[in-house]
Structure 1
Amino acid sequence: MPDFTAHRHPVLAVRCPDCGRAPGIWCRRPSGHMATDFHQSRKMEADRVFIDQYGPDASVERDGEGWIIDPRGRVGIRPQPEQMALF
């Protein structure tokens, strides 16, 4: 099970489908140079795996130098239907 808090960025918790880099290893360009950003497919895979693991409401948030998982995510700050005014 991927650990989204173990790396310097949560996306590094999954293997990259494009360049095949293992979890924890930054993406590489076809030339072999380090990419300046993660491949889009890796970001999407990280999102998919995170949601499968923690649910659609959870979030991963910065905690000083590391990361924490908040199971409620941003649900607490989203307007709830009873709070929304009808105009």
Structure 2
Amino acid sequence: MPDFTAHRHPVLAVRCPDCGRAPGNWCRRPSGHMASDFHVSRKVQADAVFIDQHGPDASIERIGDGWAVDPCGRVGIRPQQEQP
């Protein structure tokens, strides 16, 4: 089970589907040079795995030099339906 709080960035918790870099390792370009950003497919994969693990209401927040999962972090930003 990926630990989204264990790395420099939460996206590093999953393997990159494009370049195959293992969790904890930054994405690489086809030339072998380090990419300036994560591959889009890796970001999508990380989002899907995070939601599967923690649910759709969870968020991950920067705490000092690390990360923390807030199980209800997205609840306050979702649009509320008006009551009749």
TM over 0.5: yes
Instruction: Look up the equivalent residue of 2:37 and give its one-letter code.
Output: D
Q: Which entry has the higher C-alpha Rg, 1 or 2? A: 1
**SS, match of residue 44 in structure 2:** helix
Do structure 1's residue 50 and structure 2's residue 45 form an aligned pair?
A: no
1:8-66 Cα distance to aligned partner (Å, 9 max, x none) = 00000000000000000000000000000000000000000000000011001000110
User: Percent same amino acid at aligned positions?
Assistant: 81
Q: How does 1:1-87 map to 2 (within 5 A)?
A: 1-82=1-82
**TM-score scaled by structure 1?**
0.89
**TM-score scaled by structure 2?**
0.92
Q: Equivalents in 2 of 1:22, 1:31: separation in Å? A: 17
Q: Equivalents in 1 of 2:78, 2:5: separation in Å? A: 24
Instruction: Look up the equivalent residue of 2:56 and give its one-letter code.
Output: P
| Equivalent residue pairs, number | 84
Q: Equivalents in 2 of 1:53, 1:64: separation in Å? A: 23
- Unaligned 5+ segments in structure 1 are none
Q: Equivalents in 2 of 1:59, 1:23: separation in Å? A: 20
Displaced runs of 4 or more, over 4 A = none
Q: Equivalents in 2 of 1:6, 1:34: separation in Å? A: 21
